[in-house]
Amino acid sequence: MSAMTYRITFVCTGNICRSPMAEHVVRRHFAEEGLDVEVDSSGTDGWHVGDPADHRTVRTLSRHGYTSAHTARRFSPSWFARYDLVVALDQGHAKALRSLASTPEEREKIRLLRSFDPQAADLDVPDPYYGGDADFEECLELIEAAVPGILAEVRGA
């Protein structure tokens, strides 16, 4: 069986809070399930390119037993070809990604993270950057709630 590796990228604004958190959470769940999936993340803007994840993201991930090594980067339109799924953390990111997509096939790869959570009423993961630890904890909870749906999506691919 020589199936191609499935590839997912998570996208937020600066790639230091929400998307690296989603990357590390989802990567561990795929590893635990033994699924061959490459997971990474990026941002719609380039302000933090080269920076590590926000210290509060690192602290929240570590408190819950997740890894957190990260270097921020900006999403490039040429990357659509590389990924099977491009997961936006809120509707602003999805809109920015759709504007970068040049074909209907590329646009179809863009999904909102919370769309994978059947309990989600609001599809945005709020930006915890200007908040405190409780906001980062909420961000983690919202991401973890979407994991079963993401796993199901990948298994069905």
Between strands 85-88 and 110-112, the pairing is parallel
Whether 127 sits among the annotated catalytic residues: the reply is: yes
Q: How far apart are CA 43 and CA 61, in angstroms?
A: 19
Cβ-based burial of 92 (10 A; exposed 0-12, middle 13-18, buried ≥19): middle
DSSP 124: -
Would you state the structure tokens that stand for residue 16, as one six-digit string? 């230091």
Whether 11 contacts 86, CB under 8 Å: yes
Q: How far apart are CA 51 and CA 21, in angstroms?
A: 14
Catalytic residue among 17, 18, 54, 73: 18
Backbone φ, ψ for residue 87 (5° rounding): -105, 115
Whether 12 sits among the annotated catalytic residues: the reply is: yes
Q: How close are the terminal C-alpha atoms of the chain, in Å? A: 15
Catalytic residue among 45, 51, 84, 127: 127
Whether 17 sits among the annotated catalytic residues: the reply is: no
Catalytically annotated residues: 12, 18, 127
